[in-house]
Structure 1
């Protein structure tokens, strides 16, 4: 089973443009992410896929493998799918470009889902982590997920799900952590199907997979990586790195 990592890397991030080219301990954020993915030794190949000449050149000049997107894309899955269409791979792992501190244990759990899936019933695997405080549950920036008894995703929403109607019953809330592992064919199927009104309403790409009958295995983790979305996050990452 050939497993590759794809690191989608946009230069013009809405909240922090150019964040992937910021310095982190003497190297750019994107280079740190690439090197961490390589050092994990989980992948047969690691690629950065980008719409930016600046990022493309940054990876190539340091000996990495970069791919250039030919189209404009609404989401990371589309960007990765275009890139992998002609690459030999069985499993494609989406590693976030703005998370330079690779969580090897969590990524290993995702890969194990497919290694243990001899009947190939699972199309995608992704991560979830418990959330307990009300503010985080109510925050629409935190995508929530509910699953069946086998930890297969039933639905994702920016609203609190499930709705806690009966206060006498204990309820658990889970935040979706946007790290994915795909069977290559599931990724290509996604790429060649249009966005639905439901996906467009919630702005959650996982919904498209569910609407087209794909099985998403959710893996629980309590180890959440440091993502860099703001200048303040970058300072936190620099302190952590130091």
Structure 2
């Protein structure tokens, strides 16, 4: 199941999930991509958003407005669905309306293998980025070991290039876990690193948990700011018109 956490009052870009993406609200555009790959559940925190989701034919569930992360919101939503502990949950961010369906399918296959075989606590993804992009704090970076297991995520440029380095990796904000490991994750207290960087995946690493990373080639643009939205609409309008 793909669960899309939607928070209406985003800190950096309030109400961004309702922004128009070629005729539909952003979170609906994301859900339209997801529904081609798996069953979709939208975890909302506002009655207006719940109604919009239902009007577009999506299953949605109300969650608290006080959740610190999307994963915590998903945990509440999933707990209301009565799913088996072994069910694999994919967390697709509501601000990823341009995420490619092919990549979502690949990630689902990767996640099923990693999670069901208990090779990892969680799964996520990354793509290679230009060195010039690595200084952008809105673009989260990740470093991985030789087995593509995450070592650390940061808003800062990592690693520091004391010697020439051109393999910077941008984190793609998609996650997977089983219902069981999702519950375990949410039982952990927020770590100091998570609070400092405002990156929920650091909660898992701080507790010694393995996050397997899938390398992707993606042109998707996650929408964190109004500038991101303007850029994405220009890029993908051109793609759609070609």
Question: Given the two structures, how large is their TM-score scaled by the length of structure 2?
Answer: 0.86
- For 1:106, the equivalent position in structure 2 comes to 103
- Please state how far the C-alpha of 1:236 moved relative to its aligned partner: 4.6
Q: SS of the residue aligned with 1:140?
A: coil
- Please state how far the C-alpha of 1:18 moved relative to its aligned partner: 2.1
Match of 1:68 among 59, 62, 65: 62
CA separation in 2, counterparts of 1:237 and 1:159? 23
CA separation in 1, counterparts of 2:79 and 2:31? 21
Unaligned runs of 5+ in 2: none
Q: SS of the residue aligned with 1:198?
A: helix
Give the 4+ runs in structure 1 shifted more than 4 A: 235-239
Match of 1:78 among 72, 78, 99: 72
Moved more, 14-23 or 78-87: 14-23
Q: SS of the residue aligned with 1:116?
A: helix
- Please state how far the C-alpha of 1:196 moved relative to its aligned partner: 1.4
- For 2:195, the equivalent position in structure 1 comes to 200
- For 2:176, the equivalent position in structure 1 comes to 181
**1:91 correspondence with 2:88:** yes
**8 A contact 1:151–1:218 mirrored in 2:** yes
**8 A contact 1:9–1:49 mirrored in 2:** yes
**8 A contact 2:17–2:26 mirrored in 1:** yes
Match of 1:213 among 208, 219, 227: 208
Question: Given the two structures, how large is their TM-score scaled by the length of structure 1?
Answer: 0.86
- For 2:125, the equivalent position in structure 1 comes to 127
> What's the RMSD between the two structures over aligned residues?
2.1
- Please state how far the C-alpha of 1:48 moved relative to its aligned partner: 0.8
**8 A contact 2:135–2:156 mirrored in 1:** yes
Aligned residues: 233
1:164-206 Cα offsets, whole Å, 9 max, x none, are 2234xx4521111111112222211111111111221222111
1:52-63 pair list within 5 angstroms: 52-63=46-57
CA separation in 1, counterparts of 2:54 and 2:178? 27
**1:46 correspondence with 2:40:** yes
